[in-house]
Amino acid sequence: MTELQEYRRKRDFSKTREPAPDAAVASERRSLFVVQLHHASRRHFDFRLQVGDVLKSWAVPKGPSYDPEVKRLAVEVEDHPVAYATFEGDIEHGYGKGHVDQFDLGVWTTEGDAEAQIQKGHLRFELFGKRLKGGWHLVRSGRKERQPAWFLIKAKDAFAGDVEADDLLDKKMIASTKAAAKTPATRAAARKSTARKKAIPRGTKKIPRARLTKIAAGLDGARKAKASNDFFKPELARLRDTAPAGDDWLHEVKWDGYRILTAIADGEVKLWSRNALPWNDKLPDIVQALELLGLQSAQLDGELVALDAQGRSDFNALQKTLSGEMQSPLVYMLFDMPYFEGFDLSRVALLDRKDLLQQLTAHAPRHLAFSTHAIGNGEQAFKMASEQQLEGIICKRVQSTYHPGRGDDWIKVKRLESDEFAVVGYTPPKGSRSGFGSLLLARPDPDTSSGWIYAGRVGSGFSDEQLRALSKTMDEKGSTKPTVALAGVDPLLRNARWIKPTAVAEVYYRGIGNQNLLRQPSLKTMRTDKSPADLLDSDRAIGKTRSKATKKAAKAKPRGDVTRSADITISHPDRVVFAEGSITKQDVVDYYTAVMKWFLPGVIDRPTSVIRCPEGAGKACFFQKHLMQGLKHVGSAKLKEESGAQAVYIYPLDASSIIELVQFGVLEFHPWGSTVENPDKANRVVFDLDPGDNVAWERVVAAARLVRKLLTQLGLESFLRTTGGKGLHVVVPLNPGCPWPMVKGFAQAFASTLAQAHPLDFVATATKSQRNGKIYVDYLRNSRGATSVASYSLRARAGAPVAVPLRWSELGKLKSGHDFDIHSTPKRLARLRSDPWKGIDDVKQNLDNVMKRLA
């Protein structure tokens, strides 16, 4: 069933005013949340979060509460179309009949993958509405209900208080509540909604405005001036190759985002882009954060960014968040303040302006941040920025004033990357230019029919001689049909001419932008010594576009050089990742290095979700399955998701991939049961035996033996693994593999049959209330896109346990599913003479005959 089929099934759109599933909505907008007060047969609040192209929806009978101690029941209902976010009025027919008021509408954010969090049963998020603000939780309940039950809970933050949804109703909603009151209970609810009114908690500490205003008034160069929230022209930087020397300069990070200017007058905040476009509607979260400062007048200058786990600006995440594809939290990095509370500070020295700004932001909401700086030693500042893979640095004269336009007081020094690409076409020239406008570039990609995928256009950096030579070779050649796969639609390619890959261009660029296209490319040189075939055969291509034969070899067993990793710098190696035992990030790197030859066969060339814990296992961790900016040694594959949309998934190529991911904060690895080469066919079936409360370990051991026995009776050989948690995995290899629908059907039938035959010992449903005293046979890991923990993967749990493959003969010696940890596992492997799973890839078995027997 597709995401909106249930919504369609329940409604007759010839009779209801509700929007149809295909109703048009505005594009290029942030992910929305909406709360609607619904006077149906039972009055309730509908809570909806936009995830992708739908509104995930919950019915909250009593409405949201600002009290973190109050858990409000939220019953999951069918997904709604995004157009439903603006629906108000009467539903006059059938399902949901009654009046609908819009209680709140805004944007929402979350750290990590929203869908993965929902699937896991705990979504942490922030709301930016008129009535609902701050952090919240949706936690799946173990209660047995007709529909999945969750709890909506307010996070313990500065917005928390004793405010209820009914305290925030306006006159229109109160009137609707009274009009809909037909029973004693609804009339009581109507009386309650008008009984008391409370304000939303402020949400931040009070800013010491008076003290800061006094400081501003005393700064050398400060002048009294009238406030305005109109657009003001920003100061701009000149591009230079090197950073200036001396203590007359300070150096800031060059944030990779959008320049945003803030003008406040009479307490009203207005956001402007650098080209004078209003941005309040795009950034309600930033407007709200600025309003919480409580300023009457100011001008602020900064960069809007989305930050990755390492605190680096991620331009891809920013673009996707602004277009609704992601829900990353946004941060306004503030670096200047030319006006403050009635005083023009544009003639005040930069260092004084920044000092005042730093004091202002000391207690600001987390969506506002101060862009720190270092004074002097510009060469070292740029070197550090390059080592951390930042875009570059901005160098500013310490004593400079603030003036609009480009001058010599601000200098930007950018980190350049370069790579080689095949030339696959050209665009027509414009203006006085002759020959061509730009060259079209492509990179190797084995997942496309042509073997190449479009990487972007380069139109600068050519000498006159190169223009003449290239124009002569391409004149009137090519066709209008692309010869490579396109990552997206580029209107500038309408008149392009496409040719087969014939030449190689080495190009400078400043990172990868949206749709994985090069940002700000310029020609370095034409590599006349190389051909496109060399790119396919190069080390880079071997890493990301290996032949099928090479991939099969990778899956068979660890190769000699695959366990050697590139020289990857580990930042913060002394950071404690597991508090118990004081296990550091370097210890995690050393562990994966030690077990690499055992670990790699289970993850290499498989789409892999990872669990990242940037601040350690005891703090916030999140799933990551899509490609993220900054990864250089990890493979990427465009795969179709269950929704039908395509996304770029990551997968390990070799040891360098693993160590790089650990550098990015990864602790756990969860691969698919199929490979990127053949994602539609499973070569693993995993039965996860997950004991509920009050289940002795001896019963888990007996359950694993029973599962093995039943699989043997079906003619299937199986293998055993601890999970690093409470249970065990029984793993069935498939060779040459089976389609996912068959595998999922078999796994479900096996689990259900086991539960029916042994109802006191097993359960095949995930409902926690049914699992007490029983073992849950989790078959849901056996569908396209589902994952299981990898053999020898760490778990982000106390004590750093490890998922470890075993011989069946070792099962009786186990004391728990987390017997092995980061310390004992390498010692175990050093003692082993052979792999406990030796021969798993040589087992020839499929489900075809098994399914016939079960039919």
pLDDT tens, position by position, 650-703: 999 999 999 999 998 999 999 999 999 899 999 999 999 999 888 999 999 999
Does residue 526 surpass a pLDDT of 60? yes
CA distance 278 to 264: 13
Confidence of residue 548 (pLDDT cuts 50, 70, 90): very low
Q: Which domains does the chain have, with CATH numbers?
A: 5-193 (no CATH), 209-414 (3.30.470.30), 417-544 (2.40.50.140), 548-671 (3.90.920.10), 681-854 (3.90.920.10)
Asked if the model's pLDDT at residue 151 lies above 70, the reply is yes
The helix/strand/coil state of 654 is: coil
**519 falls in which pLDDT band (50, 70, 90)?**
confident
Lowest mean per-residue pLDDT among 45-59, 275-289, 484-498, 809-823: 484-498
**Rounded CA separation 387/379 (Å):** 12
**Contact indicator for 305, 255 with CB cutoff of 8 Å:** yes
- Report the percentage of the chain scoring pLDDT > 90: 54
558 compared with 202, residue with greater pLDDT: 202
SS3 184: helix
List 56, 133, 154, 254, catalytic entry: 254
Least-confidence region, from 150-164, 211-225, 439-453: 439-453
CA 740: distance to chain centroid? 26
Distance CA 669, CA 795 (A): 9
254 is catalytic: yes
pLDDT tier at 555, thresholds 50, 70, 90: very low
**Mean pLDDT of the region 468-482:** 77
Residue indicated by tokens 């703090």: 619
**3-state secondary structure string across 79-116:** EEEHHHHHCCEEECCCCCCEEEEEEEEEEEECCCCHHH
What is the C-alpha separation between 667 and 611, in angstroms, rounded?
6
Instruction: Name the strand (E) or helix (H) holding 193.
Output: helix 184-193
Determine contact, residues 324/332, Cβ cutoff 8 Å: no
**Dihedral angle, C-alpha 260, 264, 267, 269, nearest 10 °:** -30
> Taking CA 344 as the corner, what is the angle to CA 340 and CA 345, rounded to the nearest 5 degrees?
80
Beta bridge partners of 38: 44, 100
Give the whole-angstrom CA distance, residue 631 versus residue 616.
20
Rounded Cα gap, residues 533 and 722, in angstroms: 45
Q: What is the pLDDT of residues 716-737, one digit of tens each?
A: 999 999 999 999 999 999 998 9
pLDDT, tens digit, 9 for 90 and up, residues 663-674: 989 999 999 999
Is pLDDT of 550 > 90? no
Residue 371 CA to residue 414 CA, distance in Å, equals 17
Q: Looking at the chain, how many residues does it have?
A: 855
Encode pLDDT of 534-547 as tens digits: 787 543 333 333 33
Neighbouring residues of 659: CB distance < 8 A, sequence distance ≥ 6: 565, 566, 568, 570, 589, 592, 593, 633
Phi, psi (rounded to 5 degrees) for 632: -115, -20
β-sheet bridge partners, residue 682: 738
The residue ranking higher by pLDDT, 538 or 324, is 324
Both tokens assigned to 641: 């998701």
Instruction: Give the tens place of pLDDT for each residue, 418-455.
Output: 788 999 988 888 766 667 888 999 988 876 778 898 99
Q: What is the pLDDT of residue 556?
A: 34
| Positive/negative CA dihedral, 9, 14, 18, 19 | positive
DSSP 571: S
**Better pLDDT: 300 or 507:** 300
**How confident is the model over 571-629, as pLDDT tens digits?**
888 889 999 888 999 999 999 999 999 999 999 999 999 999 988 898 878 888 888 76
Spatial CA neighbour of 132 closest among 179, 167, 176, 97: 167
Give the bridge partners for 583, in sequence order: 578
Residue 579 one-letter amino acid = A
